[in-house]
Structure 1
């Protein structure tokens, strides 16, 4: 008699699937496929990649910029937006990792190989060039630091021609380069021309690529000293605002830019009850800060003991143990309560009522501390 089991018993220890059943292992996978789980996974991948590439300094918030130091990618933008970004004010929108990733892939996997194929035989393509230059402007100096997009260079790595690569949703209404992109390319041209005394580099190309179709629009750019003066003037003004501790005016190049700004609520460009808020602190009754933005802000201000507002503590309770949370407070009676000690439905549009005032027949709503009193 054969020692092999009969066919009807051979699957006793195997996973049996039916059209209406889902094995536990698959249910576990389904449960873990979520936006938050994916974001945490992607953040960890980026963390490991930065360490592998020797760029661990990317694994934390960038330090606030000194007033005189400028980054080419932030030039000629709304002064207030630039200050918010440069001083690590908490961002109100979703972190743009997806856009950064697409832009990086477009540059590295498409444009660089294309440039390598079309570059003359005696020239080469270099992924980026580092710049660090000081500009004397009137009675003050400003500093430019950053790295270019791919450049055409000689065999000695001397720059001959620069590119600045941007991705966008649509090219339909793009008839000329955006001014802050043109300013960015000018900054690189100026710095490299300043660093290489033996020859001049004055030309570059702004390349816009569609994220949907991979179509291109290209705009040749030649260094224009008159335009560059407007950029230097912008840097001087930005340095002066921040050096004096002033919140700059909101002056976008186009009005619609406010709709897409990462700081529009604290600036006052929405119907929320805030305006002209400085760079420090969360908006007390705003619950929609993305988790990554919350952590980045808290880490960037850990030396001064930044905490979660009561609203954010209820949104991300697991962060409270590490970062702490401010108390609820009443503007009428000045009583305070721990973030989790007040019965509240969680809707920021309907803040919790003060229990003490309610006993006195007064309906007063509680709030977290104002942004300027959070540090």
Structure 2
């Protein structure tokens, strides 16, 4: 056995030639394959899952039940009605998750902004409170809507009474930011309105603070409460969203902002993605679509326990098979059925297999699994 340099290695690095001829290639491949975006996301989600249990918040690990139609979250205000409805009804999310952005935003707020506010904005008689719970109902002539959520840091007096409400956002760059974004302004208005209703003194001032993730530069905007913007913009939006959900209606695909479709986790079912679907309702996985992350699937199954995996997803996440089951392939022409793993896997997951029985009779019939609309009903 002789020692010689690893190909393309730094000078002086040597290994046994026996290892070089095989096993070390497997070790390298294992290391490279093990470190990936998918494995990182699964690891991070498991860390969050465990942490929630340790902190006595296991309810954070499952899907939340759909809220009442009149209830709204400040963070979803003034955005695409269809996207918001998908979120509320626990439709299965697709594609990559923006967890990294949420994590960066939390760290920026807790590790940088709160200490900064403590040092620069408070006095001997004022303090920074990390958050405040809001829950208020807005009555209109026709109906009422409710908004519930948790604020970002609030500057308070010695009695804990709010003086200045903040909303902290991170962004890739401040270069093109010329003022508060409307949906962030709406979110801050919800906090201002709710706290003003709850406390005896007037609460009319908010601060939107944007931080650049690359440079940590900030831009801060004073946002006074605007009654016209609140009533004609935000409350009107909440009433429309409530009406869609009360009527069981899938809202139209009309994004409010240009960026919404490109970052939306429901592109495929909506019709904005590459998958051959559009206007799909709240339940059902898209057959042939592999772009679901494991955590997204477990959240969906938590909300809809009777749902199963598609054959495409069964091959991608075999650990979920025993618990959830897999839809069978079915031929609509001859009614033959095939187990999900009975047929050869296609290179293109969107390519449907052919029915062997029909092929023997000279017919080329593609097999199907339940459409998203039919996946939660009996499929025999």
Work out whether 1:19 is the aligned partner of 2:22: no
1:32 offset after TM fit, Å?
A: 4.5
Distance, in Å, in 1 between the alignment partners of 2:259 and 2:37 is: 29
Structure 1 stretches of 5 or more lacking a match? Answer: 1-16
**Partner in structure 2 of residue 7 of structure 1:** none
**Partner in structure 1 of residue 179 of structure 2:** 176
Match of 1:282 among 272, 280, 285: 285
Instruction: Output one character per residue of 1:239-276: Cα deviation in whole Å (capped at 9) or x when no partner.
Output: 11011100001121233421221111111113432111
The answer to whether the 8 Å contact 1:72/1:144 transfers is yes
- With over 3 angstroms needed to count, the CA separation of the structure-2 counterparts of 1:320 and 1:346, relative to structure 1, is farther
Work out whether 1:139 is the aligned partner of 2:134: no
**Partner in structure 1 of residue 54 of structure 2:** 52
User: Which segment is superposed worse, 95-104 or 219-228?
Assistant: 95-104
**Partner in structure 2 of residue 224 of structure 1:** 226
The answer to whether the 8 Å contact 1:69/1:144 transfers is yes
The answer to whether the 8 Å contact 1:285/1:368 transfers is no
Work out whether 1:352 is the aligned partner of 2:347: no
- With over 3 angstroms needed to count, the CA separation of the structure-2 counterparts of 1:134 and 1:274, relative to structure 1, is same
The answer to whether the 8 Å contact 2:42/2:294 transfers is no
Q: What secondary structure does 2:101 align onto?
A: helix
Q: What secondary structure does 1:255 align onto?
A: coil
- With over 3 angstroms needed to count, the CA separation of the structure-2 counterparts of 1:171 and 1:331, relative to structure 1, is farther
The answer to whether the 8 Å contact 2:209/2:218 transfers is yes
Q: How many residues align?
A: 355
Instruction: Output one character per residue of 1:188-230: Cα deviation in whole Å (capped at 9) or x when no partner.
Output: 000000011x201111111111111111111110100100012
TM-score (norm 1): 0.89
TM-score (norm 2): 0.88
Match of 1:295 among 298, 306, 311: 298
**Partner in structure 1 of residue 331 of structure 2:** 330
- With over 3 angstroms needed to count, the CA separation of the structure-2 counterparts of 1:48 and 1:256, relative to structure 1, is closer
**Partner in structure 1 of residue 4 of structure 2:** none
Distance, in Å, in 2 between the alignment partners of 1:318 and 1:49 is: 22
The answer to whether the 8 Å contact 1:311/1:368 transfers is no
Instruction: Output one character per residue of 1:91-111: Cα deviation in whole Å (capped at 9) or x when no partner.
Output: 112122211111100000000
Structure 2 stretches of 5 or more lacking a match? Answer: 1-11
Match of 1:106 among 102, 105, 108: 108
1:361 offset after TM fit, Å?
A: 1.4
Distance, in Å, in 2 between the alignment partners of 1:137 and 1:299 is: 36
The answer to whether the 8 Å contact 1:137/1:236 transfers is no
The answer to whether the 8 Å contact 2:79/2:257 transfers is no
Match of 2:194 among 187, 191, 194: 191
**Partner in structure 2 of residue 75 of structure 1:** 77
The answer to whether the 8 Å contact 1:285/1:367 transfers is no
